[in-house]
A and B are shown apart, each in its own frame.
Chain A
């Protein structure tokens, strides 16, 4: 609330700066804007930027740093008996302090109540000093910029330079995101590999992270062997691809080569609806309808089917990916030049002969690229498998059994009560690193193939 007030005050100050800049510029040109180097409004922006930017920087820095500063100061002020607690307990205590301070919960220890009091005091003091600092800076900068306004000031160039800096900064966001992903995955994974060897992780066939909670078993080799996860992921994505590739490809072919425009206009958006449905909905449907259906059918013909079979999850995932495959194939098929089709028709080939023997072979590289992209989608898909595939890390190729996947385990390891820094939690990051690497590699290869293909027919 206080923060909001401060921001409104800053905003008003900035708007005031704009008007001030404008009118001073006009005044310095005795009311004739043509004598100015830049339009009066640029002078206004110039002053407004000077006024607003430094203050906003201070505020942003404070917002980002406040939690860690508070944490450090509160921790230091805790009584000695509390300070001696284990790190995890300390984290819980700190959490309680925050809840007491912010939401008025009842403290369980008097020391916590005191700390909460202290927390609020520091917070208020800090806020008011930051607010005062940013306001003072804003006013000072406003005065400085205001004094610099005169007819020859190249206000437009200054403002544009500032905007350009913003544009460049924004465009680096993508790079920082990637760096952030890589750093956080690598950093936590390295800590994981201090207690579990990389080899055991990549090639071990025993996955039972729960056991590792007991201290005598932490990092015991075999408990973090991820092979069953990799196998399960491959099995489910494989089933999904078996569903999605033929169905997606055939529908794309029918749409682009056979369908009347009216049919296409109706059916294409309908197919795209499949892509717009959130995956959590597919997961619910898989668990509620498809998995029991498959299990019942299996029982009818005398097969034992797990109630969370890989088949059910894979099937539903495959349906979800159909529009993805079909729209990629559609692009690729449409890129095949008409002259090739005419060549085949001119020889007396039927439509399906032309498609199967000329169009598809010509489009094959592009289709392969699209399939790789779809595979990377399937491997990274999370909610369907979390809801419809099991947690049992079976090493099997039987689609009727329950398997677990990399993404399922990442979610399970991190959801619910977690102890930070335990190998169990860190394992999620190691799995994430594997997932990121594999999907990235698939994407790079696929995009390369698709681009090569595009160039060929451009």
Chain B
């Protein structure tokens, strides 16, 4: 027989025990909260790091120079220059001259070279645009904002110290002094970084842009969607509505589940061996990237599609069949329209995943350094996450900033896709 009084009116010992048990309860709860706090804290840290490093990349330091567009230096006919000649003219020299004029005291080849290095080596391209658009400016002197070199940009944004010789500072004493002078004259300013959104990759951080990668990602994902969506929906329809329950369909199901968990880098090996080496498709092309991503996303879409079709109540199917619809009509007229929001949601999420996928694309050569904006899915191209990888690998300090900016752009696209999926689900959510 058990001691009953111990429980009815707690003795000292029992009361102490109870206290301990409640302390354990509180500890356990605190443990749970801290686990969540830790995970979310890490997320916050990651986002803050990216924002802190990347926000400044959306502006770019520019330098204002009085540029004399003098025909002789440019090497074009002063009276009636042809468009071709204007396109191929020597803008670099014009910019250098403008620089020397701004600092007449600077003499000597080495010093002058340092001086000219304050402006980006790609500034001539923007100057060309100005003159080609308006040939009437030939022979005049214009005050023009030109992109500064990335070292100047980093110093101006405070990412590296402006103390000469400080860690990461690649500017010389002279260059820093000139920069100070330019700043005092009001000839240095930060402007919106258009290059980031309009150009392709470049070895020079101040000229490097994401547009090539964005277009590449767009082509790749279009191919993925084109392949994946019909195949995924067809497979879901077959497995949910038509397939007999036998070994063969079991095999298909097991396959789909396992493919969903195969590391993506293995799909890259598949793409390399089959699409590139066997079929001889072009390397680095969004076509191949899209096909590989399609194989990766297919299981996701099938699983989402089947779940959406399972949610359609059998009574709807019975009603359709009872009216004399064929099985296919039942599917196309009732099951598919009713499950389409779910299928689309799954597809968008699958595409979002594909957009962030990197490793398999490295295998099929999408890591090449590509400056040109791809014009078709057959042209060599980068994609956004690969661009992130490439820039992250570059030693220049300015690429840290641009990598973070590229990540922000990537995350922005991902967020949009996820929001679209959520809205879609909210709008069409149906409870049976």
- Does a CB–CB distance below 8 Å link A and B in the complex? yes
Beta-carbon contact of B25 and A352 below 8 Å: yes
CA distance A253 to B24 in the complex (A): 15
Cross-chain contact B410 with A387 (CB below 8 angstroms): no
Q: Report the minimum CB–CB distance from A436 to chain B (whole Å).
A: 5
B418 within 8 A of A: yes
A301 at interface (Cβ–Cβ under 8 A)? no
**B357 lies within 8 A of A278 (CB):** yes
Residue from A178, A353, A416 within 8 A of B259 (CB atoms)? A178
* B266–A173 touching, CB < 8 Å: no
The answer to whether the Cβ of A279 comes within 8 Å of any Cβ in the partner chain is yes
B392 in contact with A283 (CB, 8 Å): yes
**Chain B interface helix/strand/loop/mixed:** helix
Give the contact stretch, choosing among B102-110, B118-126, B180-188, B270-278.
B270-278
Beta-carbon contact of B403 and A178 below 8 Å: no
Point out the residues of chain A lying under 8 angstroms from B367, CB to CB: 415-416
A373 and B269 alpha carbons, distance in the complex (Å): 22
CB distance from A446 to the nearest CB of B (A): 9
Q: Is B50 an interface residue (CB 8 A)?
A: yes
Asked if A152 CB lies within 8 Å of chain B CBs, one says: no
Interface of chain A residues 145 through 198 with chain B (CB within 8 A): 156, 160, 163-164, 166-168, 170-175, 177-178, 180-181, 184-185, 187-188
Q: In the complex, A280→B400 CA distance in Å?
A: 14
Interface contact B21-A270, CB-CB below 8 Å: no
B235 / chain A contacts, CB cutoff of 8 Å: 167, 170-171, 173-174
Residues of B within 8 A of A277 (CB): 46, 356, 411, 414
A250 at the interface (CB under 8 A from B): yes
Residue A35 at the B interface, CB < 8 A?
no
* B176: interface (CB < 8 Å): no
B273 in contact with A184 (CB, 8 Å): yes
Contact indicator B265/A382 (Cβ below 8 Å): yes
Collect the chain B residues with CB atoms within 8 Å of residue A230's CB.
none
B166 on the A face (CB < 8 A):
no
When the two chains form their complex, are residues A435 and B407 in contact, meaning their CB atoms are under 8 A apart?
no
In the bound complex, what is the Cα–Cα distance between A81 and B210 (angstroms)?
A: 44
B280 x A71 contact (CB < 8 A): yes
Q: Which residues of B contact A174 (CB under 8 A)?
A: 235, 252, 255-256, 259, 298-299, 302
Smallest CB-CB separation from A436: which chain B residue?
B266
Q: Which one of A64, A254, A288 lies within 8 Å of B35 (CB-CB)?
A: A254
B38 at interface (Cβ–Cβ under 8 A)? yes
Pick from A175, A181, A278 the residue with the most CB of B within 10 Å. A278
| Chain B residue, CB-CB nearest to A451 | B257
A350 is contacted by which of B21, B261, B273, B302 (Cβ under 8 Å)?
B21
Asked if B265 and A351 make an inter-chain contact with CB atoms under 8 angstroms apart, the answer reads no
* CB pair B362 A379 closer than 8 Å: no
How distant is A189 from chain B, measured CB to nearest CB, in Å? 10
B246-298 at interface with A (beta carbon < 8 Å): 249, 251-252, 255-259, 261-270, 272-274, 277, 279-281, 295, 298
- Rounded to whole angstroms, the CA-CA distance of A253 and B273 in the bound complex is 44
The stretch from A49-57, A393-401, A406-414 touching chain B is: A406-414
B29 interfacial by beta-carbon distance below 8 Å: yes
Chain B residues, CB < 8 A from A381: 263
Task: Point out the residues of chain A lying under 8 angstroms from B265, CB to CB.
Answer: 380, 382, 407, 410-411, 432, 435
Contact of B42 among A71, A276, A319, A411 (CB under 8 A): A319
Beta-carbon contact of A67 and B280 below 8 Å = yes
Q: How far is the CA of A379 from the CA of B32 in the complex (A)?
A: 27
Please determine whether A443 and B261 come into contact, CB atoms closer than 8 angstroms: yes
Q: Looking at the complex, which one of A274, A283, A444 makes contact with B39 (CB distance below 8 Å)?
A: A274
User: Is the pair B277, A420 in contact by a Cβ cutoff of 8 Å?
Assistant: yes
| A355 within 8 Å of B (CB atoms) | yes
B33 interfacial by beta-carbon distance below 8 Å: yes
In the complex, B196 has a CB within 8 A of chain A: no
Q: For the complex, is A309 an interface residue (Cβ under 8 Å from B)?
A: no
A413 to chain B, nearest CB (A): 10
- The docked-state distance in angstroms from the alpha carbon of A356 to that of B352 is 37
Distance of A271 Cα from B36 Cα, bound (Å): 8
Is A284 in contact with chain B by the CB < 8 A criterion?
A: yes
Q: Could you tell me if A278 and B242 are in contact, using CB atoms closer than 8 angstroms?
A: no
* Inter-chain contact B237/A250, CB cutoff 8 Å: no
- In the bound complex, residues from chain A placing their C-beta under 8 Å from that of B299 are 174
- 10 pairs from A and B in contact (CB 8 Å cutoff): A247-B39, A254-B32, A254-B33, A258-B32, A276-B414, A277-B411, A415-B362, A435-B263, A443-B257, A444-B258
Known contacts A254-B35, A281-B411, A322-B39; can you find 8 more A-B pairs with CB under 8 A?
A71-B280, A177-B295, A184-B269, A184-B270, A278-B414, A284-B392, A288-B49, A440-B261
Q: Residues on A close to B: CB < 8 A? A: 64, 67-68, 71, 156, 160, 163-164, 166-168, 170-175, 177-178, 180-181, 184-185, 187-188, 246-248, 250-251, 253-255, 258, 267, 270-271, 273-274, 276-285, 287-289, 319, 322-323, 350-353, 355-356, 373, 376-377, 379-383, 386-387, 407, 410-411, 414-416, 420, 428-429, 432, 435-436, 439-440, 443-444, 447
